[in-house]
Amino acid sequence: MYCKKIMIVQTIRRTATCTTQLNYQKAEPSIKLKTHTDSTGVCSPHLSLQLELQSQSMAASTAVTANYVLKPPPYALDALEPHMSKQTLEFHWGKHHRAYVDNLKKQVLGTELEGKPLDHIINKTYNNGDLLPAFNNAAQAWNHEFFWESMKPNGGGKPSGELLALLERDFTSYEKFYEEFNAAAATQFGAGWAWLAYANDKLKVVKTPNAVNPLVLGSFPLLTIDVWEHAYYLDFQNRRPDYIKTFMNNLVSWEAVSARLEAAKTASSSSA
């Protein structure tokens, strides 16, 4: 069974992300026309049309598009199985993340925030901790995109190269980092996130409540795990520790983390 829709697949080579902005620098834009079907004969939403992203990124490669797009994860919704189910991705990305993006658009319409880059909205509405209404949707839209890109199929395991060296430097060993990241994720009371972040030439583990992220705390996010219950409840129910282990052992994209570290170091030194 073939999907009747013709999907325009745009290949954008994503460079390392800057801390406060997601950069999409287009190298060789290649537009492919293809019919798509996955093994169940269903059109995968991750190949959906993103033409507005193309025109935006052609104009400027710095600011995040003001259109607050619901970007699909860089893999099919079933690609993380059995560690994170397709059903979870369908709800988590397809409902929760989508709602943050849609509600943010509605919320900033007609206000001074309308049309502003996402990171600008996040910082403005964080308001030094006295959160303004749009913060939740804005930060959660950002956090979730960052989360999908923190994972990959057949991920996990140990990092290598400079990232490993820095983890060993700042945590004494990879195992100690693993423990600390695990503990942060497990002990974040209620909803929130755990992060590996970079600031002042040092790596650290941070945990944040609800929608808060390291951007507003003055550090560069490198890796995150969502510990809101909706992130793991369908697959793990109350067993958050099992979810965290599975994430670390099978899902983390160390390539993404390394690329972000490079960008963070570049951004740090250029502003130093």
Partner 1 sequence: MAIRCVASRKTLAGLKETSSRLIGFRGIQTFTLPDLPYDYGALEPAISGEIMQIHHQKHHQTYVTNYNNALEQLDQAVSKGGTSAVVKLQSAIKFNGGGHVNHSIFWKNLAPVKEGGGEPPKGSLGSAIDTHFGSLEGLVKKMSAEGAAVQGSGWVWLGLDKELKKLVVDTTANQDPLVTKGGSLVPLVGIDVWEHAYYLQYKNVRPEYLKNVWKVINWKYASEIYEKECN
Q: For binding to partner 1 (CB under 8 A), which residues are involved?
A: 91, 95-96, 99, 136, 189-192, 209-211, 228-230, 233-234, 237-238
Cα distance between residue 188 and residue 48, in whole Å = 35
CB-nearer residue toward partner 1: 164 or 191: 191
Helix/strand/coil for 162:
helix
- Shortest Cβ 59–partner 1 spacing (Å): 34
Rounded to an integer, what is the distance from CA 24 to the centroid of its chain?
Answer: 14
Backbone phi, then psi, for 225, in 5-degree steps?
Answer: -125, 130
CB-nearer residue toward partner 1: 68 or 228: 228
71, 145 Cβ separation under 8 angstroms: yes
CB-nearer residue toward partner 1: 135 or 220: 135
- Shortest Cβ 174–partner 1 spacing (Å): 28
CB-nearer residue toward partner 1: 136 or 250: 136
- Shortest Cβ 55–partner 1 spacing (Å): 31
Q: In 162-247, at which residue ranges do the beta strands (DSSP E only) sit? A: 192-199, 202-209, 220-226
CA nearest neighbour of 170 among 144, 193, 192, 201? 201
Look up residue 38 and give its amino acid.
D
In 10 A of CB 264, how many CB atoms?
23
In 10 A of CB 141, how many CB atoms?
28
- Shortest Cβ 175–partner 1 spacing (Å): 25
Q: Which residues contact 110 (CB under 8 A, 6 or more apart)?
A: none
- Shortest Cβ 126–partner 1 spacing (Å): 14
- Shortest Cβ 33–partner 1 spacing (Å): 34
CB-nearer residue toward partner 1: 43 or 99: 99
CB-nearer residue toward partner 1: 148 or 254: 148
